[in-house]
Each structure stands twice: as C-alpha cells, then as structure tokens.
Amino acid sequence: MTEQRELATFAGGCFWCMVSPFDEQPGILKVISGYTGGSTENPTYEEVCSETTGHYEAVQITYDPTIFPYKKLLQLFWQQIDPTDAGGQFNDRGLSYRTAIFYHSEEQKDQAEASKAELAASGRFQKPIVTEIIPAGTFYKAEEKHQGYYKKNPFHYNLYKEGSGRARFIRENWRNRKSDEQLRKELTPIQYEVTRNNATEPPFQNEFWDHTEEGIYVDIISGEPLFSSKDKYDAGCGWPSFTKPLRRNEIHERFDTSLGMRRIEVRGKTSDSHLGHVFDDGPGPDRARYCINSAALRFVPKEKLIDEGYGEFVKLFE
C-alpha cells in the first residue's frame, strides 16, 4: 500500500510540550516545531516571544491518514491543552502561547469544528472552549535546538512540563475516569496500592521480575502499551527493567522528591498510575533504566496481540 501524507498544524502553547504526544504514534511521519499565523517572515524564537510578530508557537505534523486519521489527531490535541484559556497556556502568557487549530482543507475545518463542538457539549469544562480554528498559512521551522526538545533535554523538559502547570492540568482533566471504588474492586490490593498510592512492591517477589516470554506490557488500568519484552533485561534489582518505553508519549515522567530522594517518577499518561522510576544507569545508548512495578502491568503475549487490539506491535516479533 502506498504511503499517504497529509499535514496537520496545531498551536498548544509552548511547542516543546506539543511534540512528544504525537511523535511516536503509528502513522506519524514527522513533527516539526515552528511559528505560524503572524506577519514576520522567518521569525526567530526571541522575536516570537517578544509578542511583536503575531505568530503562534506551533507544531506541524506530517501523517498518514490511513493509519492515524485527522479525527484522532484532534482528540490527542485537545488532551494536551487548556482549551478554555484565551491568554496563553498555563504559566506561559501572551499571544504566541494561544491555542489554535490551523486547517489545511475544508474537510479538516469541518472535522475541527465538529470536534470542538463535541468537546463543548461533553461538559468536561465549565468555561467556553476558546481555541480558534484558522486557515493554515506559512509555517516557519524553529531553530534546531527547539526540535525534539523532549528527547534532547529530557530532565529539563520534564521539570518544565511539571513546573508550568501543564502536566498537573492534564492529570486532573484527562485522567482515567474510573472511581477509586471501581478500581478497588478490579485490582488486587498490591495493584491498587502501587498504582493509586505510589507504593513499591517487594523486589524478587513480583510477577514479572524474571519473566522472559515475548510480548508487550500494558498499563493494568488503561491498557496503554508501555514496554516490550524486546527492551526488557535483568538489571539485578528484582523488578522488571526496560531500556525504553514503546512510546514515550504514553508515559509521563515527573520529578519526585519523596522519601528524601531526587528521582524521576514514571506514570501512565491516561490512567495517571504510578508505574515506577527511570534511572540513568541502564545499558542502552541513553543509559535509561525504567524500573517498573509488576503490579502496574499486564502482559500480552505476542500471539494474542492482534486479538487484544495491539496488532501494530506484531512486527516487533517477526
């Protein structure tokens, strides 16, 4: 099948935080940070931040609509922003940090308007949805240091996303909607304590620390695909350890100072479940070691991936 390519352009405040949600999704071919909507040609970051150019900080996404349709892009976009804020996003104030959907066709415009109306009718937010829907214009690529910032500077990126208030807003407004009462019924006591109360299960006394079967590990609450057996290794710590997640945008990393330590906690994006921590002593090129509680995971063997809706990962084991 011939690969199809279309463009989508979104402004969601600081463009550092608008790349990772889309970057590793199936069918997403490229995500570029840049500037659009203003009058100045080839603006610099400093010029845009001065609020004199009229530009928005934005991301332009090249995608294959047969794999990841525009409607799904819109759903993911809304989940990154506060669509009720007309003056910026979180701690970032000013015109360049406003939210907008820049449509590239009448079909995109219709879908964007329908998506906005659906969100407004959902009752999720009490205030009006003020995100603009605007015809796409010239898009100027930002300086190289701003491209893929979440990969180049992960520690600072996570501190910024948490400190700006964006991460907290997403957790509070887009988290899994199951009640504590429901989760207590569905989970075992240790699964509940780990995922909801940030507990840590005993090392060497958990389900997956020495598990070697081929397949993927998903969030026990939301079903988000998190890790692959291909990236699992024995770190000698007594918990499942992985060199990388399946998709970085399916997890949330935040600074953790509990127990008098300085660590990076790993949480499920949709479920807001505590998963474990990530350390910098792993064997891979970026030295990441994702140390994860078995109680936060469910394993899907490779032969059941298609049946359980994870068919896109079959290729990992071919």
Q: What angle do CA 26, 101, 177 make, to 5 degrees?
A: 65
Where is 54: in which H helix or E strand? none
Q: Please tell me the distance from the alpha carbon of residue 89 to that of residue 14, in angstroms, as a whole number.
A: 8
- The encoded tokens of residue 238 equal 């007594």
Q: Which residues contact 281 (CB under 8 A, 6 or more apart)?
A: 287, 289
Residue 89, strand partner residues: 92
Told to judge if 14 belongs to the known catalytic residues of this protein, a careful annotator would answer yes
Told to judge if 291 belongs to the known catalytic residues of this protein, a careful annotator would answer yes
Contact 233, 240 (CB under 8 A): no
Q: DSSP state, 4?
A: P
- From the list 14, 17, 49, 237, the catalytic residue is 14
Q: Please tell me the distance from the alpha carbon of residue 69 to that of residue 120, in angstroms, as a whole number.
A: 21
Distances (CA, A) of 258 to 81, 269, 278: 28, 20, 15
Q: Give SS3 for 80.
A: coil
- From the list 17, 49, 237, 291, the catalytic residue is 291
Contact 18, 142 (CB under 8 A): no
Contact 119, 21 (CB under 8 A): no
Q: Please tell me the distance from the alpha carbon of residue 137 to that of residue 64, in angstroms, as a whole number.
A: 21
- Catalytic residue numbers? 14, 291
